[in-house]
Amino acid sequence: MKLLLIGEYKENKFFDAAYDLFAFAEKMNAEKIMFAVGSDSDIPKFKGKLYLSDSEKFSEYAPDLHKKLIHKVIEKENPDYIVFLHSSYGWDLAPRIAASYKISVISEVVDVADGIFVRPICNSKLRVNIKSSTEKSVLTVQSGAFGYDINDGDQPEVEKIDTDDVGSKYIFKEYEEAADTGVDLSKAEIIVSVGRGIGKKDNLATIEALAKTIGAELGASRPVVDAEWLDASRQVGMSGQTVAPKLYISCGISGSIQHLAGMKKSEYIVAINTDKDAPIGDEADVLVISDVNQFVPALTKRLQK
Ligand SMILES: Cc1cc2nc3c(=O)[nH]c(=O)nc-3n(C[C@H](O)[C@H](O)[C@H](O)COP(=O)(O)OP(=O)(O)OC[C@H]3O[C@@H](n4cnc5c(N)ncnc54)[C@H](O)[C@@H]3O)c2cc1C
């Protein structure tokens, strides 16, 4: 079994989330072979082989050109799976590679066992098991689903990949920062995060009281933002902010992969949930099995004493 992992760079820095791909390779029991268009000023730390193309020459975003470079590595390595992150870069390139070889693409993989890949459907309410019907396959892997594999001591063997074909239909202009949301949760030391489990907007007041008592910022899961109980700037997760506070208290949050992707690097996680089997329990240092609307006011009262 051979994987070709496709890494990513942004402004000459290796994109941190791509370390998840090494964790995926571990899970697949495969050696680590990566291709990336980037810079040798920031080589990812892993034991294996890195095929590196120069982003000065090939741009960090030129999917048609990058496809050709990936073809070269595929011809050298003949991998069984070509594995992208489920990122905007992966969404763009993965189908191009799959179409060029007429092979299947399985997107947003969150688990795998015995060649069967698991991906969420229906806004993550259901999961489907998929087996590829082609000899090779392209995968995109959900960030946070397989962990994060980094070891400072490791250095890959680096081989440069070049081509004289530098014409791209795309001209990369610049990265544009997302609009300033006003709330920068990434700098917060304590976050109290609200999930759908609080039941209704009226119950927010008790959670806000806890946050105020311990000097925390308020965070939220996506359904809370979708229901307009809190502003979108407070959303934590894959499509919200990525946070790493000293203490993260989750209140009625199930712990979907998309939410975990944004908060799994928190130093200490306390989860309050009525369901002892909620996935957040696997990440939490402490799981309080309780009704959040009863537990939080009692906790706040105690802390205020
Ligand atoms: C492309 C994409 C991107 C996404 N991005 C994000 C993102 O950035 N952030 C994000 O959060 N989600 C994101 N999602 C949505 C994600 O898949 C989940 O649907 C969402 O995280 C669930 O939010 P939740 O845990 O609040 O709600 P639910 O999954 O409904 O969980 C509610 C939890 O509360 C518990 N509960 C119920 N009542 C109580 C009570 N009285 N006391 C205590 N516990 C109680 C339940 O047991 C349950 O575990 C994304 C989805 C997709 C498809």
Using the predicted structure, report yes or no on whether residue 239 has a pLDDT greater than 90: no
Using the predicted structure, report yes or no on whether residue 197 has a pLDDT greater than 90: yes
What are the CA-CA distances from residue 133 to residues 47, 113, 125, 249 (Å)?
31, 16, 25, 43
Check residue 104 and give its pLDDT. Answer: 97
Mutation to probe ligand 1, out of 238, 277, 280, 283 (largest number of atoms < 8 A from CB): 238
154 contact partners, CB below 8 Å, separation of at least 6: 45, 46, 47
Check residue 181 and give its pLDDT. Answer: 64
Q: Do the bridges between strand 126-130 and strand 49-54 make them parallel or antiparallel, or are there none, so unpaired?
A: unpaired
The third-level CATH classification (topology) of the domain covering 185-304 is Rossmann fold (3.40.50)
Q: Once rounded to an integer, what is the mean pLDDT over residues 203-216? A: 97
Check residue 166 and give its pLDDT. Answer: 79
One CATH from 3.40.50.2300, 3.40.50.620, 3.30.70.520, 3.20.10.10 for 2-160: 3.40.50.620
Using the predicted structure, report yes or no on whether residue 178 has a pLDDT greater than 80: no
Which ligand 1 atom sits closest to the C-alpha of 278?
49
Can you tell me the distance from the alpha carbon of 165 to that of 64, in angstroms, rounded to the nearest whole number? 11
Which ligand 1 atom sits closest to the C-alpha of 108?
1
> Per residue in 260-303, pLDDT tens?
988 988 999 999 999 999 999 999 999 999 999 999 999 999 99
The structural domains of the chain, with segments of one domain joined by +, span 2-160, 185-304
* Residues above pLDDT 70, as percent of the chain: 98
Residues with CB under 6 A from ligand 1: 123-124, 195-197, 199, 221-223, 235-240, 252-254, 256, 258-259, 262, 272-275, 278, 291-293
> Per residue in 148-160, pLDDT tens?
777 778 899 999 9
Using the predicted structure, report yes or no on whether residue 179 has a pLDDT greater than 90: no
Q: Once rounded to an integer, what is the mean pLDDT over residues 29-42? A: 96
Structure tokens at 38: 């980037």
Using the predicted structure, report yes or no on whether residue 33 has a pLDDT greater than 90: yes
Helices (H), the chain: 19-27, 55-58, 63-77, 88-101, 204-214, 222-226, 257-263, 280-283, 292-304
Centre of ligand 1 from the C-alpha of residue 98, in Å: 32
> Per residue in 56-85, pLDDT tens?
999 999 999 999 999 999 999 999 999 999
pLDDT bin (cut points 50, 70, 90) of residue 180 is low
Check residue 144 and give its pLDDT. Answer: 76
Centre of ligand 1 from the C-alpha of residue 224, in Å: 8
Q: Do domains 2-160 and 185-304 have the same CATH topology?
A: yes
Mutation to probe ligand 1, out of 239, 241, 260 (largest number of atoms < 8 A from CB): 239
